[in-house]
A and B are shown apart, each in its own frame.
Chain A
Amino acid sequence: MQPRRILEVPIPDGVDPKGDDLELLKAVFQALTALRVSQGRDWLAKVKELEGDGWTVRWGLTWRAEAKRGEEYEEATGKTLDEALNGVAQMVVAEYAGHVP
C-alpha cells in the first residue's frame, strides 16, 4: 500500500473559510481527487454490465451523515446536507424514542 500523500492547497487571500465551509472544501476536493485520479476503471465495466441487463444507471456525489453514541450508530445519505442529517435525526428519534413489546 502506498504511503498516504497529502496535497496542500493555498487558500486565496482574503478568504477565511471556517467550520462547515472547510468541511465542504475538503469533501469537494476529496471527491474530485477520487473521481479523477483513483486507480482502475472497473466501475465502467459494472455500468456496462448493468446497462446490458436493461438498467438505467445514474451515479453522483451525495452527502453522507452519521451519528454515533457508544455502540449506537445511525447513518443516512442525501442529495443535500439537510436531507442526510434529517435522515439520521429521523432514525435516531424513531429508534430510541422508547418501545415496549
Chain B
Amino acid sequence: MDSAVAPPAVAAFRDVYRAELDAIRAAGLCKDERFIHDPQGAEIEVEFPAGAAPKKVLNLCANNYLGLSSHPRVVAAAHAGLEKRGYGMSSVRFICGTQDIHRQLERRLSEFLGTEETILFSSCLDANAGVFEALFGEKDVLIADRLVHASIVDGMRLCKAMTDTYKHSDMGHLEEKLLEHADKRFRVVITDGVFSMDGDLAKLDEIVTLAQKHGALTFVDDSHATGFIGKTGRGTPEHFGVHGRIDLVTTTFGKALGGASGGCVSGRKELVDMCRQRARPYLFSNTLASVIVSGTLEVLDLVSETTERRDHLEENTLFWRKGLTEAGFDIKAGASPIVPVMLYDARLAQDVARDLFAEGVYVVGFFFPVVAKGQARIRTQLSAAHTREHLERALAAFVEVGKKHDILGKTKAEMLARCGL
C-alpha cells in the first residue's frame, strides 16, 4: 500500500503508533521474536538476529516441562487424528463442532484432575477470560492473589462481580478479605497453582482450609503444574493433598501437556455445565482443533502410564537449582522447574541473556513491566528432555558469563552497585 496517497486519518494513526513503537524500542522494552528452524526441544536451531545463520542452542526457556512437544507418540497421534477426524470443524461446539473425541478428552481430563466435569477452550487464556463472567455477578466477590496470571486479571475485569486482591501468598490477608466480604453471595479465592514469575507454589492446603472455614469457593490456574507437580503429576492440588477438593481448576495443554494450544475449566459439575451455557469464548469461538485433541489424549496416556518424565524433571530441577546456588547465583528458592536467576537490573538481565546466547544457551531476560520494578531476572525453565550433559553444559556457560559480569556470590545491593545504581 502506497503511504504517499494514504488519507489523512491513516497518516495520523501511523504517526501515533510509530511514535509509540519507537518509544517502546528506545526504552529497551521491544519484544523481538527469534525464529526457530526445527521442532521444539531441549536443543533447537535459532535464527537471531533475523537473517543470521541458525545457531544450535540449549533451550532453557520453553514451557516444555515434560519434553512432550515433539514426542514421537504425540506427533503420531496427532497425524492419526488428522487423518481420521480432519483438519478443522468450522463451527463452535454447540452448533456442529463437537466430535466424539472432544467429549472423550473432557472425560479423560476429569479423571486425571480428579474433578466432576471438564469443558475445553481454545486456550487457558480463553478459559480464564470466560469462566468468571459466566458464573459470577454483582452479588459475588472475586478475591485474587496479587500475582495471578494476566489472563485471570482480564477475566476478572470482564466479570460484574466485585474484585479484590490479597497480598501474594499472605494467608492472614486472605482471611481478612474473606471476613470483609462476608456479606457476599459467593466469595471466590483465586490463585495460580505455580506462579509463573517466581516459580513458587500457592499454599493450596491453607487456602482450601480457609475457604472451607469461610464457605468460599476455590479457583486454581494450574497451567505451570499440570502433568508434573505432585507425585503423579496431577498438579498442585495433588502436591498439597487437596486433589479433588478445588471447586474450579483451569489449565493449559500449551505447556507440559504437549505444548500445542488449548485449555480447560474443570471442577464441580454445575459450575462447568454453566460455563457450557454462558462462557463467551466457548460459545463464540471455534472448537478446539481435532488434531490437538488427538495429541492431548495421547499425552494424557503417556503421563498416566509412568511418572518417569516427571521424576526426571524433578531430578533435573534439583540438579539445576543446586548447581546455580553452588556457583554463586542468586536464585528464587522453591521446588518448581521455573528457576529465576535474579539480576535485579534490566540492562544486566539483557546483557547476561545475550552473552549466554553467544555461549549456546537460550534464555530470556524479564524486566519491568513484565516483572515488578527492580526484580529483573532470567527465567530458566527445566525440561524432562534435558539430559545431565545438557545441564552441565548450560551450567558451565552460566558460570562463564557470571564471571564476566562479576555477579557470582554477589548480593542484590552489590549487583545493583555494579550497575551504578
Whether A96 contacts B164 by the Cβ 8 Å rule is no
B371 in the interface (beta carbon within 8 A): yes
B150 contacts across to A, CB distance below 8 A? 99
A86 contacts across to B, CB distance below 8 A? 164
* The stretch of B37-45, B141-149, B291-299, B413-421 that contacts the partner chain: B141-149
C-alpha spacing A90/B162, complex, angstroms:
10
Whether A90 contacts B375 by the Cβ 8 Å rule is no
CB of B376 to closest CB in A, whole Å:
11
CB of B197 to closest CB in A, whole Å:
5
C-alpha spacing A100/B364, complex, angstroms:
11
Whether A98 contacts B370 by the Cβ 8 Å rule is yes
Give residues 11-69 of A contacting B (CB, 8 Å): none
Q: Which of A87, A96, A100 has most B Cβ within 10 Å?
A: A100
C-alpha spacing A53/B146, complex, angstroms:
41
A99 contacts across to B, CB distance below 8 A? 147, 149-150, 153, 196-197, 370
Whether B370 contacts A100 by the Cβ 8 Å rule is yes
Whether B163 contacts A90 by the Cβ 8 Å rule is yes
Given contact pairs A90-B163, A90-B164, A98 touches B375 in the complex (Cβ within 8 A): yes
Closest residue to B340 on the A side, CB-wise?
A: A100
B372 in the interface (beta carbon within 8 A): yes
A81 in the interface (beta carbon within 8 A): no
A8 in the interface (beta carbon within 8 A): no
CB of A57 to closest CB in B, whole Å:
15
The 0/1 profile, CB within 8 Å of A marked 1, for residues 257-272 of chain B is 0000000000000000
Closest residue to B338 on the A side, CB-wise?
A: A100
Give residues 65-101 of A contacting B (CB, 8 Å): 71, 86-87, 90-91, 93-101
C-alpha spacing A98/B367, complex, angstroms:
9
Whether B165 contacts A93 by the Cβ 8 Å rule is yes
The 0/1 profile, CB within 8 Å of A marked 1, for residues 297-315 of chain B is 0000000000000000000
Closest residue to A71 on the B side, CB-wise?
A: B20
Closest residue to B369 on the A side, CB-wise?
A: A96
- Give the size category of A's interface with B: 10 to 19
Chain A: interface secondary structure? helix
B156 in the interface (beta carbon within 8 A): yes
Partner of A98, one of B144, B157, B164, B372: B372
CB of B256 to closest CB in A, whole Å:
14
Whether A94 contacts B153 by the Cβ 8 Å rule is yes
C-alpha spacing A101/B168, complex, angstroms:
18
Whether A98 contacts B369 by the Cβ 8 Å rule is yes
B366 in the interface (beta carbon within 8 A): yes
A71 contacts across to B, CB distance below 8 A? 20
B148 contacts across to A, CB distance below 8 A? 94
C-alpha spacing A97/B370, complex, angstroms:
9
C-alpha spacing A100/B317, complex, angstroms:
20
Closest residue to B146 on the A side, CB-wise?
A: A97
Whether B371 contacts A98 by the Cβ 8 Å rule is yes
B321 in the interface (beta carbon within 8 A): no
Whether A94 contacts B156 by the Cβ 8 Å rule is yes
B102 in the interface (beta carbon within 8 A): no
Given contact pairs A93-B146, A94-B156, A94-B163, A101 touches B196 in the complex (Cβ within 8 A): yes
C-alpha spacing A90/B163, complex, angstroms:
7
C-alpha spacing A101/B370, complex, angstroms:
9
Whether A94 contacts B371 by the Cβ 8 Å rule is no
CB of B396 to closest CB in A, whole Å:
26
CB of A78 to closest CB in B, whole Å:
9
Given contact pairs A98-B147, A98-B371, A100-B371, A90 touches B165 in the complex (Cβ within 8 A): yes
The 0/1 profile, CB within 8 Å of A marked 1, for residues 174-196 of chain B is 00000000000000000000001
Closest residue to B20 on the A side, CB-wise?
A: A71
The 0/1 profile, CB within 8 Å of A marked 1, for residues 7-25 of chain B is 0000000000000100000
CB of B338 to closest CB in A, whole Å:
9
List 12 A-B pairs, Cβ < 8 Å: A71-B20, A90-B164, A94-B153, A94-B156, A94-B165, A95-B153, A96-B369, A98-B370, A99-B147, A99-B153, A99-B196, A100-B379
* Beyond A86-B164, A98-B369, 20 additional pairs, beta carbon < 8 A: A71-B20, A87-B162, A91-B157, A91-B163, A94-B144, A94-B146, A94-B148, A94-B153, A95-B153, A96-B369, A97-B146, A97-B147, A97-B168, A98-B147, A98-B370, A98-B371, A99-B147, A99-B197, A100-B366, A100-B371
